[in-house]
Amino acid sequence: MAYDIEKSNNEWHAELSPEEYRVLRCAADEAAFTGEYTDTKENGVYSCRACGADLFTSEEKFDSRCGWPAFYDPKDLGSVQVQRGGSSYPVVRCARCGSYLGELFEGEGFATPTDKRYCINSLSLRLKPADSE
């Protein structure tokens, strides 16, 4: 699949920490309850740590008690890509660079407008606080 931002593995290795590379480019999940943004309540926009694309906002973030940041919807419909098949749950990727973000769970009964849980790795995100925009 073609993305707006395409780089070689060597370029990604040079730009990302080993942990970021493992999550963003190798589709590995960080351990539950260890991520920087799991319990963050700060207002702002969560962007892709690899390319800087705006993905989610604090408005859509909710406490799902799953151990990872959870959002009920992306910032914009085209900001993330959901890939179904090949995994137990649909995989969520950045629509701009194809980096792995996490997985999508639906129909779990959360009291959110969409009943969706975008379960996203903190290492895939960077929070831009609202007061810095």
Which residues does the annotation mark as catalytic?
A: 119
Q: Which two tokens stand for residue 113?
A: 């407008």
- How far apart are the C-alpha atoms of 28 and 8, rounded to whole Å? 18
What is the edge-to-edge ordering of all strands in the sheet holding 80-83? Answer: 61-62, 70-71, 116-120, 100-106, 91-94, 80-83
